Amino acid sequence: MTGEPAARGVTGILASAALARAFTLTVFGAVFGAFAIERIAGRVTYATIIAGLCVFAVGMLIARRREISLVRLVPTTLVLFVGWTFASVFWSTDATRSFWGWVSLAAIAFLAVTIGHVRDTLQTVRALGDVMRVLLSISLGLEVLSGILLDMPLRFIGIQGNIAKFGPIQGVFGTRNLLGFVAVLALITFLIEYRTQSVRAGVSLFSVVLGGVLAVLSDSPTVVVLAAAVAVAAAALGLVRHTSPERRQAMQWVFGGVLIVAIGAAYLARHPIIAWLGAGSDFSTRATLWANLLNFVRMRPVQGWGWFGPWAPSEIPFIAINFQSGQTHASALNAYFDVLLQLGWVGLLLFFLLCGFAFVRAWLVASERRSIIYAWTPLTLVALLVDSMFESFTLWGLGWLLLVLCAVRAGQSRSWRERMDVAEGPELPHDS
């Protein structure tokens, strides 16, 4: 008899809103702070943290099983992509490393799926905003300590101490490009917080200034492209939201056509754009890397070389690609090329389906729902998908976490799952 109240007590704790909030904050803090955790405490410590969070996630989903619709748990496109990733273990050049690479991918995806079901969009944005404020503030503080107060690099955490020269700085994220990427994601989150009035005005102002300063000091050439893409997407979404319902569909098709034309024009004018951004050397490095990478894609065009995630420098084909490029790269510096190399054309198609369905659903939901909170998902996806042309951050770590979270959120709001809910169980509460 004493076991039953204890069991109910444990279930109540696992199903509580307080634990869900703490869990979400911890997941965001661990994944966004992965580089600092690994540098300070080691990779085993980080892996242990993620494994422990997965255990909590299982318990939380079991405790909430009555309020979670099984058919809405995971988007089909995500299941197919992660399933193909697992299948690639069997033809990989190193099955053991591929398996652990898949475990890492699946674990982060599982944490994102759990957050998507225990927190609504507003709660998710608030938790992400809190974590980003802390990490960006720590980054700025350490950069000031390194570059101004001590005037020496903090090599144990990858900080070069260049803030007195106005950048580039890395913060606690390891590279300037990742810091710039996080700063843009933070600005999206902070501005949504401001529009929803979910934090005090002073906190919003501090957050936006903090994100903007770090984005500039990162001196990342991709920041300008990301900021421009998100700004254009936000303006287009604002126009659609303020268009009458009977004209909205036509407006969507017009924007779709404009997007296709803009992508084509950007490709044709890529060299002047690169020169204007001052990213000629960066693009030259990428062009050489991609040319060498495509030689290996042709050897295994359909299935790829097997999933590794971040490159294993001593494994084929990565060691050969780096040797031909004359540099040591940890990724293809392009998420789409990375998927093509590791998972082949089948994997790339599944990745496009995952991203495409998530973006279209999120965009349609944001254009039809009244609350501005729904704009966070499509704008975050814009940042992820545009950055994927220059980096592979979307395939692991914080980028993968946000991609899966956005896909889950979009799948909950607009898909065939809504029609199945009547048979499967109660509908999840909508965000206010």
**What are the start-end ranges of the H helices in 245-333?**
245-268, 270-277, 280-297, 318-325
Indicate whether 219 belongs to any domain.
yes
Indicate whether 90 belongs to any domain.
yes
Q: Is the preceding peptide bond at 317 cis, omega within 30 degrees of 0?
A: yes
Look at the chain and report how many structural domains it folds into: 1
Distance, CA of 327 to CA of 329 (rounded, Å): 6
Domain that holds residue 287: 3-424
pLDDT at 426: 44
pLDDT at 279: 53
Indicate whether 278 belongs to any domain.
yes
Distance, CA of 260 to CA of 265 (rounded, Å): 9
pLDDT at 427: 43
pLDDT at 428: 42
Indicate whether 309 belongs to any domain.
yes
Distance, CA of 206 to CA of 156 (rounded, Å): 28
Residue by residue, pLDDT tens for the chain (432 residues) are: 445 554 567 788 888 888 999 999 999 999 999 999 999 999 999 999 999 999 999 999 998 888 777 777 888 999 999 999 999 999 998 899 999 999 999 999 999 999 999 998 999 999 999 999 999 999 999 999 988 888 888 888 888 888 888 879 998 998 899 999 999 999 999 999 999 888 898 999 999 999 999 999 998 888 988 998 899 889 888 888 777 776 767 777 776 777 777 767 665 555 565 555 555 556 677 778 888 888 899 999 999 999 999 988 888 888 988 888 788 888 888 899 999 999 999 999 999 999 999 999 998 888 888 788 999 999 999 999 999 988 889 999 999 999 999 999 988 765 545 555 544 444 444 443
pLDDT at 429: 41
Indicate whether 87 belongs to any domain.
yes
Reading phi first (left if > 0) and then psi (alpha if -120 to 50, else beta), residue 159 is in: beta
Indicate whether 432 belongs to any domain.
no
pLDDT at 268: 59
pLDDT at 14: 82
Backbone angles phi, psi at 2, to 5 degrees: -65, -25
User: CA torsion sign, 338 to 341 to 343 to 349?
Assistant: positive
The predicted model scores a pTM of 0.89
Indicate whether 84 belongs to any domain.
yes
Indicate whether 262 belongs to any domain.
yes
Helix, strand, coil percent values for the chain (each to nearest 5)? 80, 0, 20
pLDDT at 8: 63
